[in-house]
Amino acid sequence: MSSSRAHAPYTEPWLRGTHTDVPAAGRAVLHALELALDDLTHWTAGLTDGEVHSQPLGLTSIAYHLRHIARSTDRILTYAEGGELTCEQLATLKMEQESEGEQEALAALLAEVEISFTHAAGRIRVLATANLDTPRTVGRRKLTTSIGGALIHVADHTQRHVGQVVTTAKVIRGMKATFNG
């Protein structure tokens, strides 16, 4: 799932005619993840590792959102598959919330997202062939959803965090322009 924003003219993933072997709902989720990676790559281009970890105007760092996008995809798909989070997934969640002080390189963070989406694609392909109305539960409280609800949440949750990355990147660029201009 590599980014193709660099190729002109840019065509959004849902218009590329890809994943035609996957039922429509699953195909839409795959396209949403591809768009997310395209946007993340595009909007973080040129930012320094320090800027990716900064919290301008008190915003959550881009680094946090990238970690969260990559790791939450696995957790949501676990619920879609009817599973419970493992001890490892719970530890990763806790670490994700506490790792704001870490200084991973932007390239490593984007690679984590890309690897996560690549692993997710196979799982999504399988889930897309299931009855999307099959009930599923989420979390300790066993909140109800369905396979389809969880699949769609992978897409909309990812896009929500991508929007926050884009906004934060724009703020960082705007602040640099103000101070350098």
pLDDT in tens, 62-113: 999 999 999 999 999 999 999 999 999 998 888 877 766 668 999 999 999 9
Alpha-carbon gap, residue 175 to 150, rounded angstroms:
37
What's the CA gap between 43 and 156, in Å, rounded? Answer: 18
For the entire predicted model, the pTM comes to 0.90
pLDDT for 176 equals: 84
Domain definitions of the chain by residue range: 13-44+54-180
Which DSSP letter does residue 9 get? S
Cβ contacts of residue 106 below 8 Å, gap of 6+? 44, 47, 48, 49, 52, 62, 63
Q: What is the pLDDT of residue 103?
A: 83
pLDDT of residue 124: 98
Q: Tell me what pLDDT residue 100 has.
A: 62
Q: What is the mean pLDDT of each run of 10 residues along the chain (181 residues)?
A: 59 93 97 98 96 94 95 97 94 78 88 98 98 96 97 97 98 87 62
Question: Can you name the CATH fold of 13-44+54-180?
Answer: Four Helix Bundle (Hemerythrin (Met), subunit A) (1.20.120)
Question: According to the model, what pLDDT value does residue 101 have?
Answer: 62
**Residue-level pLDDT at 3:** 47
CA distance 129 to 163: 29
